[in-house]
Amino acid sequence: MFLLVSIFYICFTMKKFEIPQHYRSSFIGQIKDARKALDPRKKDFTPAILDFGSVQFLIARHFGFCYGVENAIEISFRTVDENPNKRVFLLSQMIHNPLVSNDLAEKGIEFIMDTKGNQIIPWEDLTSEDIVLIPAFGTTVEIETKLKEIGIQIDSYDTTCPFVKKVWTMSEKLGRQEATVIIHGKHIHEETRATFSHSKENGSSVVIKDLNEAKSLEKYANGEKPIEEFFIEFKGKHSEGFNPKTAFSKVGVVNQTTMLASETHEIAEFFKQLMVVKFGENEIKNHFIDTRDTLCYATNDNQEATYGLMREAADLAIVVGGYNSSNTSHLVELLEQNLPTYYISDVSEIENEQLINHFDYTNHKMLTTSNWLVKKEKTRIILTSGASCPDAAVDMVLDQLLSYFDNTKSKTEILKEHKSIYTS
């Protein structure tokens, strides 16, 4: 089994995609390549430390575009280039990054819905001659059916990440075993909406966002909370006919692939212990199906790399990514436990060394902070990004930050030093 998983992982991570060159990085990319050459299986999650003199950058071991994102971008740009006389649509944003979304719009791609599923272009405006791209998050069974009814061919333009489909396969397996599927995710997120749609086709399903909602389900199951309240609290988050009093005799947990791995493990362990208490340790295999971890490799690697950053002393952290990016927000959530952390979409949010605009993901609003950049004999800045952020965007942020410090080494010098460290 380990060998099969290793082969699966290597095949996905080694594939090279044709994406626009302006997403690539001339600096960060070389840092990544040097680390990858020395540690291809990512056993070392310590950050790369780039010492420019008066400022050090702690660069996460793993960040930026993942397999699913690059695959989706490649298919999208290729589709437009190969079909100059056809209308090309996206169901919603291809990935949660404003730079990429703007580029696709400039290429002429139109968006049918926004990220919350609100219709922008009516279905009746589409014809069988149109091309509709399915984003990396996947889509619902209902939307797939709608597109087929219109006569739109979707198989060649489906960019659903294989790791998302892996979750769908697992939920189908749980349904066949008559287990209730508990989906750890944000119910309004495109990926969770898609997973829930596929899951409820095969069995009883419910979406929970955290351990508190898991504990709430337990109270409905044991009668501590009235059933009527369940249908209010979990409105739109459960399959038809879901009965919390009878749904928890056999369960399995899957997730939105961009959630915190530690939270998914915690939720799975919670339900496992409920089954142990209810049915006994000897019967656990008949009531709790071990789904392992359904997080994608990139989300897992990004989070492990962030824990690696958190073990280092630093003055502040910058996280670059789209503000509606789930995986990016979780990196911010981790880092801000330790130090001031600024969540920015791109370099334009940095006004100067005195002012920075950044996103408060908890309250969903922009903030402006003054005197944010620590200046001392050796300032240490953590720098990372989400899985949907181009490395070039991180390069631009690093360049801007570097401009605020005097007497620094050149990036050429840093590359020589760094390569010598990881090739010696």
**Structural domains in the chain?**
2-66+297-423 (3.40.1010.20), 67-157 (3.40.50.11270), 176-289 (3.40.1010)
Tell me phi and psi for residue 155, to 5 degrees.
Answer: -60, -40
Structure tokens at 327: 């995986």
Predicted pLDDT at 423: 55
**How far is Cα 24 from Cα 274, in angstroms, rounded to an integer?**
48
Reported as a pLDDT band with limits 50, 70 and 90, residue 296 is: confident
Tell me phi and psi for residue 61, to 5 degrees.
Answer: -60, -30
Beta bridge partners of 343: 319
| pLDDT(3) > 60 | no
| Whole-number average pLDDT of the chain | 92
- Express as a percent the part of the chain with pLDDT over 90: 83
> pLDDT tens, 37-77?
889 888 899 999 999 999 999 999 999 999 999 999 999 99
> pLDDT tens, 202-219?
999 999 999 999 999 999
* Closest to 136 in 3D by CA, of 97, 188, 78, 186: 97
Predicted pLDDT at 1: 36
> pLDDT tens, 302-323?
999 999 999 999 999 999 999 9
| pLDDT(245) > 60 | yes
- Section 387-392 average pLDDT: 94
Give the three-class secondary structure for 134.
strand
| Beta carbons of 321 and 336 less than 8 angstroms apart | no
Beta bridge partners of 380: 56
Reported as a pLDDT band with limits 50, 70 and 90, residue 12 is: low
For residue 282, CA distances in Å to 38, 249, 265, 276, 288 come to 45, 15, 21, 8, 11
* Closest to 250 in 3D by CA, of 230, 271, 225, 224: 271
Highest mean pLDDT among 27-41, 86-100, 393-407: 393-407
**How far is Cα 165 from Cα 186, in angstroms, rounded to an integer?**
17
Reported as a pLDDT band with limits 50, 70 and 90, residue 299 is: confident
Beta bridge partners of 57: 50, 381
**How far is Cα 423 from Cα 268, in angstroms, rounded to an integer?**
41
* Positions marked catalytic: 191
- Section 316-343 average pLDDT: 96
Q: What is the DSSP letter of 86?
A: S
pTM of the full predicted structure?
A: 0.89
Q: How big is the CA angle at 52 (ends 48 and 55), to the nearest 5 degrees?
A: 90
**How far is Cα 56 from Cα 49, in angstroms, rounded to an integer?**
7
| pLDDT(291) > 80 | yes
Predicted pLDDT at 76: 94
| pLDDT(270) > 50 | yes
Quick count: other Cβ atoms within 10 Å of Cβ 406? 9
Predicted pLDDT at 4: 38
Predicted pLDDT at 421: 66
> pLDDT tens, 99-126?
898 999 999 999 999 988 899 999 999 9
Structure tokens at 306: 């962030």
**How far is Cα 219 from Cα 226, in angstroms, rounded to an integer?**
9
Give the three-class secondary structure for 357.
strand
